[in-house]
Structure 1
Amino acid sequence: MHVLGSTGVPRNSERPDSPAEQAEGGRLRWVLDLVRLARPLHSVKAVFFVPLALIDAWPWNVAMAGRIAWAVGAFMLASAAVYVGNDIADRHRDGRHEVKCHRPIASGRIPVPVGYLYCAGLLASLGAVLAFAPVPSWPVLVYLGLNVAYSLVLKHVPLVDLSAVGLGFVLRVVQGYLAVGEPVAHWLLVTVLAVSVLFLLGKRRQELLGAGAVHRPALRGYTVELTGWLMQVTSVFALISGLMYLGTGASLSRDHGQTAMALSAPFALFIVFRYLQIQLTSRNDGDPVRHLLRDRTLQCACALWAVAFSVLFVLGHHPAAP
């Protein structure tokens, strides 16, 4: 029963929106779709991997921080443009996926011409950023070229697709080293490649358990059993290379390398075990970024490791701190 006001108009909460309100809501949804198209959640990749070079750079200063911020921003723009381009290229295949069909372009909420304009705008912004680059920016350009090749050919080739994506993470770290002006730590690059491939194998495994190879042809070269074995091998490789970096390649290795290895080993083992537990015993969306951001156990382990390593880092560079 409706309650009538003095004008006889029903005063209920189901009053239809006015044309102006509907237009405003439509614009808001359109803007949100453009933001989702750029995958802001995945910006954490640049925020995390580019500054890794700071471990080997000391002392820090404002200029160095500015160069790192520039490198992070450049890779955020580059990766956003890559995501938009991939969504345009994969829109028909994504439309057959139970989850990806809701993406802005695959669902038709963002027209393809608008997607092209958006990608062009991101690339133009990236060009402006690179024009004032304070350090060599070739890793960003290689990253763009690698992703064009990935979108056209490499993502359809089993195993090669993993390596191509893993190299994108390595390029982020290399750009960080160029920003701080330090020699590249090769064991760290190997570790980053191994960890990224481990995450990608987990994602491929979950895709096989879900929709199968319909939306990703390269999955025809994988099986659930194969991804499980590859994840085990890659996790061992990642652990060994990471501990080798801490013991011999990091700036702490001269005086505190063995301590860094001993301190990091239990944390690294637990984090890898937890990730393998999630991937091998349950079905999920396989997105490593979401796992790292949502799994409380992983968050606590990473936070404790970061605190412990930070204390060792400070003591290593400031022996008189205690």
Structure 2
Amino acid sequence: MHVMGSTGVPRNSRHPDSPPDQAAGGRLQWVVDLVHLARPLHSVKALIFVPLALIDAWPWNVTVAGGIAWAVTAFMLASAAVYVGNDIVDRHRDGRHEIKRHRPIASGRVRVSVGYLYCVGLLASLGAVLVFAPFPSWPVLAYLGLNVAYSLVLKHVPLVDLGAVGLGFVLRVVQGYLAIGGAIAGWLLVTVFAISVLFLIGKRRQELLGAGATHRPALHGYTVELTSWLMQVTAVFALISGLMYLGTGAPLSRDYGQTAMVLSAPFALFIVFRYLQIQLMDRNNGDPVRNLLRDRALLCASALWAITLSIPFMLHHSSVFV
């Protein structure tokens, strides 16, 4: 027997499933928002740059692989905490941006207090990883300090903001080498720095073309023409330093190093040309990670380059162990 309400509809049959469904949907959205806050797509930065140390760690073993995995995990947690912290600090500015206003904290879907707790939880997890790390972890701590300075001051200073972000990538590489106990080639660090700055300039250029300089104070120190020139100069710098690393700094004998440099030249040129073509001719979201992961020409060229470059490395290692 149903109890009838004043409208003649059984009280326990009025939208009986709505509250549970809405609650479940709200919880799911909340979890998705927390995942988005940590920027999981950008974890690829740690997955690419920290393991560069494996180039100098041949032959690989469980100890080497474990050290690299530990370093990657540390930087993934550190970068996630940095992204959450940045979203908290920039929530008012992001709220005025056409795209960034949809971010979880800027839109209000995730409360600021929850963001703080999330950030503290990530830092606590990072602390647990670092306490038991079997190698020096100062690059991770330096990365955190650098990003605090970046969020508060450095990102508002034109040109300095580029160098601060580039240094963050260099610290990832350094941490990888500390994890395996290997010596670091200077040309490799220069190359990583130049490539990361090149990507960031492209992102700044797209921001100028999109929303203009209103949402980021440092953009007042840039123009579209200036970013075009900076990209060209930085692209040349990255190419030269990368080829110099292969020719003189990579763990190859002189002959194989020269071979690697010659084989790499056409692939490296095409990849740089293609990236400049995307940035200078097309209007996109300016995110270098998404551009790299979505562009088939870049992916194919990178894969072919990796296969080609593996040949002199395998020949060198086989000659060493013969």
Question: For the superposition of Structure 1 and Structure 2, which TM-score range results when normalised by the shorter chain?
Answer: over 0.9
CA distance in 1, matches of 2:293, 2:83: 20
Residue identity matched to 1:244: M
Alignment-derived partner of residue 281 in structure 1: 281
Give the conservation status (yes or no) of the 8 Å contact 1:150–1:161.
Answer: yes
CA distance in 2, matches of 1:313, 1:176: 20
- Can you give the 5+ residue segments of structure 1 that lack an aligned partner in the other structure? 1-8, 10-14
Alignment-derived partner of residue 212 in structure 1: 212
CA distance in 2, matches of 1:17, 1:273: 56
Alignment-derived partner of residue 103 in structure 1: 103
Residue identity matched to 2:265: A
Q: Secondary structure at the match of 2:136?
A: coil
CA distance in 1, matches of 2:57, 2:255: 16
CA distance in 2, matches of 1:132, 1:298: 39
Give the conservation status (yes or no) of the 8 Å contact 2:150–2:161.
Answer: yes
Residue identity matched to 1:125: S
Q: Deviations over 1:198-239 (max 9, x none)?
A: 000000000000101111000000000000000000000000
Give the conservation status (yes or no) of the 8 Å contact 2:247–2:257.
Answer: yes
Deviation, structure 1 residue 314: 1.6
CA distance in 2, matches of 1:251, 1:84: 38
CA distance in 2, matches of 1:238, 1:17: 59
Alignment-derived partner of residue 246 in structure 1: 246
User: 65-74 or 244-253: which moved more?
Assistant: 244-253
Q: Secondary structure at the match of 1:240?
A: helix
Deviation, structure 1 residue 132: 0.3
Give the conservation status (yes or no) of the 8 Å contact 2:253–2:316.
Answer: no
Give the conservation status (yes or no) of the 8 Å contact 2:94–2:215.
Answer: yes
Distance of aligned partners of 1:168 and 1:320 in 2 relative to their CA distance in 1, 3 Å threshold: closer
CA distance in 2, matches of 1:53, 1:18: 54
Q: Deviations over 1:233-263 (max 9, x none)?
A: 0000000000000000010143411000011
Distance of aligned partners of 1:320 and 1:242 in 2 relative to their CA distance in 1, 3 Å threshold: closer
Deviation, structure 1 residue 319: 3.4
- Stretches (4+) displaced over 6 A: none
Q: Please tell me the root mean square deviation across aligned C-alpha atoms, in Å.
A: 1.6
Q: Secondary structure at the match of 1:175?
A: helix
Matched ranges for 1:39-118 at <5 A: 39-118=39-118
Alignment-derived partner of residue 168 in structure 1: 168
Alignment-derived partner of residue 152 in structure 2: 152
Deviation, structure 1 residue 312: 2.5
Give the conservation status (yes or no) of the 8 Å contact 1:315–1:321.
Answer: no
Alignment-derived partner of residue 262 in structure 2: 262
User: 161-170 or 303-312: which moved more?
Assistant: 303-312
Give the conservation status (yes or no) of the 8 Å contact 2:252–2:313.
Answer: yes
Is 1:222 aligned with 2:222? Answer: yes
Q: Secondary structure at the match of 1:283?
A: coil
Matched ranges for 1:172-183 at <5 A: 172-183=172-183
Give the conservation status (yes or no) of the 8 Å contact 1:255–1:316.
Answer: no
Q: Deviations over 1:76-104 (max 9, x none)?
A: 00000000000000000001110100000
- Can you give the 5+ residue segments of structure 2 that lack an aligned partner in the other structure? 1-8, 10-14
Residue identity matched to 1:175: Q
CA distance in 2, matches of 1:16, 1:161: 54
CA distance in 2, matches of 1:52, 1:266: 21
Give the conservation status (yes or no) of the 8 Å contact 1:264–1:309.
Answer: yes
CA distance in 1, matches of 2:145, 2:226: 30
Question: TM-score scaled to structure 1, two decimals?
Answer: 0.93
Alignment-derived partner of residue 28 in structure 1: 28
CA distance in 2, matches of 1:253, 1:171: 27
Matched ranges for 1:191-206 at <5 A: 191-206=191-206
Question: TM-score scaled to structure 2, two decimals?
Answer: 0.93
